[in-house]
Structure 1
Amino acid sequence: MTAAPDLTSAPREDGVDAAVAAARRVIESLLRAGGSSTAEMDRIADQLNSVADHLDEHAPERDQRMVDMWAREDFTRHDPVTGPENAIAPPLHLTARADGSVRGVLTLGLPYQGPPGHVHGGISALLLDHALGVANHRAGLPGMTAELTLRYHRPTPLFEPLTVTARQVAADGRKIRTTGAIEARGEVCVSAEGLFIAKYLPRPR
């Protein structure tokens, strides 16, 4: 069986990816510990600020960094959904399917909690908006989000595998229609319909 093509950057085991993975662990651990923890939070704050100071000292200027982010072919490395260089990204890894859709599986923890034990609705919207956009790229006609309509069928659980899917279903000139869903245990938790506007009309073949 041929592996499904990757549509997002896979994390590496060293360098900035390893540092970002450690930062994700810190975020989760801070939430698990909370304000009533016996951990020495003031000392931890000093250590984390020292790390941030060191990173800032060796970072390029912000404008130069933004140019670098978008100049590279692997620009999905920094976005807030799939980016292995972004500590707030879960990250979601999406692959192309033979039927033209895109699919990814992830498990969300405490940093993404809304109702107790469940994913915040805004996080679901973020995942689906991005997945729909990737599906448009996969179809060869990307665009910017104009409308995103969500239906929340049932609470989306934390700490369990979630399947995110999306597919471009229609294109009329610059208007693109795309759908997607988040499922858990084989049931749809959130479904989405999006209207996207292509920057340019596709060239005739």
Structure 2
Amino acid sequence: MAANSRLNLVFAALTALLLLTAATAGYFHLEERRLHPERAAAPAAAPAADPAVVAAAARLEHLERLAAGEPGNPDHVTAIANLHYDLGNFREAAAYYERSLGLRPGDPNVETDLATCYHYLGEHDRALQTLDRILGHRPAFSQARFNKGIVLLNGKRDVQGAISVWEDLLRTDPEYPHREELRGQILRLRQSAE
């Protein structure tokens, strides 16, 4: 089998794994937006009556009022970041995650989401630096380790690096909820690299 065909199989298998973890990691929605930006782009004159747009705008306005009322509360800032993240506004989300970390440094969940924003912005080295910092303080933080494998595989095209990180994840977290799917993905990646 040609190397390109094997690589295509690797990425098809990774996509299958990501679909399995979409409920907890939110990758299905984000990968769709990344792979098909034309589908995610808002029309030039978005209808004002679009319920999703109205709801998101209202939620953002509400969160900004909360944050303005309690400027030292990182939870409000994180909620704004999460909304931008969910909408695919990764640059805005990253700015709010950074602000939240200024208020509550070292929150591994916020740092992991920030690293994911960097990844989706194409700043893969910055994403890896952030994930390595998290893992330096919390080596058993599974979501950061899983995301590091994603960045290595999809961002850096480092199949062996991703396999190594995910094998470490399986070793360090015997209760990892997607253990069998991840083992299968590692096996498929190994087979495609032969």
Structures share fold, TM-score greater than 0.5: no
- What range is the shorter-chain TM-score in? 0.3 to 0.5
Q: TM-score, normalised by structure 2?
A: 0.32
| Larger-Rg structure | 1
Greater fraction strand: 1
